[in-house]
Amino acid sequence: MTTLLRLRLRCRLRLRRLLSTAALATLATAALASTPPASLAQTAAPATAPTAPATTPARPLPGVKHVLLIGLDGFGSYAWEKAAMPNLKTLAASGASTLKARPIMPVISGPNWGAHLTGAGPESHGYLGNGAKPSLPPAVLSKYGRFPGIFGLVRDAYPNAETGAIYDWARIHELIEDKAVTYERIVYQSRSSRRLPAHVSVGIYEESTARTSVDAANYIATKKPFFTFVYFGAPDETGHHIGHDTPAYYATLKKCDDHIGQLLGALKTAGIEKETIVIVVSDHGGLGKGHGEGTMQGMQTPWIIAGPGVKRGHTLVPGIVHYDTTPTIAHILGISPPPTFRGRPALDAFAAKNKN
Ligand SMILES: [Zn+2]
């Protein structure tokens, strides 16, 4: 502590003591007079009750009324050129994107979706693997009983907001603050699919992903949610069972692109496509039948953002890490970053007037 700081502290203590003496004197006078003077509250207040800081309500960036986050599990940037994904490529061209987003380590789905959805890494959110329970106790628990993430932040800033999470990998449930979600739908893939022949197993998962898309599209079209997270697990499943960079893998990506088209169509049906920012992310790429940890096939993912106020046809500066997704959404929605964030918003995505 510096001498200056110590002096200031001593002055403040002395001031506080003087104020309490004044308050006591007023109290004594008041007791004697039997009716408390009207000024008592004001006289006593400064010593005991610090004024609460003024809170300004959160407000999204101009022109933004909705955010849709779409996640594709196991979609590596290596596949971008060969992938027949017209809907996604048109979306990327109409917004800002990079093929150089990086997973956090370890390159496993749980830790990375945790990073996307909380803005922090496994050292904080506690998910080092794909287990139902975190390997480490989360560093902090929000009032929703989980590590603070996007759903709790949205609920706190916008208490009446309609929010949805629709996904086909049960583990996502543990990675979100489910109590802060208005509509949560888990489209279960068959657990026994892991013991089935590859093409059958992949087919089952593709079916789950297709049903996820239908459910999410209906939800968006009817509820016009403020924030929605939709997760497609099929690319990862095809990667594990048949292999990355195979015709089957690209066929799965093509199906996912159809689903993305279906979700974008739902925004149009709802009449909210011009006021929605859409973000598309993945958790990792892959090599052979694995995630390709430590190889560039595994370590680079597409990160795409498009919508009102987002630069068009812009390539983002490299450096995005998966824990930057939630801070970017918080920035869009005018939510102040909590101390748990390790990531930063991708400010480079926004036209100058939308940087706040
Ligand atoms: Zn996987």
Pull the structure tokens for residue 47: 């010593």
Distance from Cα 207 to the centre of ligand 1, integer Å: 17
Distance from Cα 234 to the centre of ligand 1, integer Å: 10
Distance from Cα 292 to the centre of ligand 1, integer Å: 10
Supply the CATH classification number for the domain 72-354: 3.40.720.10
**Mean pLDDT throughout 239-255?**
97
Distance from Cα 185 to the centre of ligand 1, integer Å: 21
Distance from Cα 108 to the centre of ligand 1, integer Å: 7
The residue extents of the domains of the chain are 72-354
Name the pTM for this structure. Answer: 0.84
Neighbours of 347 (CB within 10 A): 15
Distance from Cα 310 to the centre of ligand 1, integer Å: 31
Distance of alpha carbon 182 from alpha carbon 149, whole angstroms: 15
User: Is 28 a residue whose pLDDT tops 50?
Assistant: no
Using CA atoms, how far residue 292 sits from 77, 109, 170, 287, in Å, is 12, 12, 23, 5
**pLDDT computed for residue 132 by the predictor:** 86
Q: What is the pLDDT of residues 137-180, one digit of tens each?
A: 999 999 999 999 999 999 999 999 999 999 999 999 999 999 99
Q: What is the pLDDT of residues 190-214, one digit of tens each?
A: 656 667 778 888 888 899 999 999 9
Distance from Cα 53 to the centre of ligand 1, integer Å: 45
**pLDDT computed for residue 141 by the predictor:** 97
**pLDDT computed for residue 11 by the predictor:** 39
Question: What does the angle CA 61 – CA 65 – CA 66 come to, to the nearest 5 degrees?
Answer: 110
Beta pairing class for 183-186 and 96-101: unpaired
**Mean pLDDT throughout 107-133?**
96
User: Is 33 a residue whose pLDDT tops 50?
Assistant: no
**pLDDT computed for residue 353 by the predictor:** 65
Distance from Cα 321 to the centre of ligand 1, integer Å: 18
Neighbours of 321 (CB within 10 A): 17
**pLDDT computed for residue 146 by the predictor:** 97
Pull the structure tokens for residue 41: 């509250």
Distance from Cα 103 to the centre of ligand 1, integer Å: 13
Residue pair 44/23 in contact (Cβ under 8 Å)? The answer is yes
User: Is 263 a residue whose pLDDT tops 90?
Assistant: yes
| pLDDT classification of 54: cutoffs 50, 70, 90 | low
Distance from Cα 283 to the centre of ligand 1, integer Å: 9
**Mean pLDDT throughout 99-109?**
97
**pLDDT computed for residue 192 by the predictor:** 60
User: Is 327 a residue whose pLDDT tops 90?
Assistant: yes
**Mean pLDDT throughout 12-28?**
41
Distance of alpha carbon 117 from alpha carbon 326, whole angstroms: 6
Q: Which residues contact 266 (CB under 8 A, 6 or more apart)?
A: 216, 217, 218, 220, 221
Report the candidate in 192, 151, 189, 183 with the shortest Cα–Cα distance to residue 170: 189
Q: Which residues contact 57 (CB under 8 A, 6 or more apart)?
A: 157
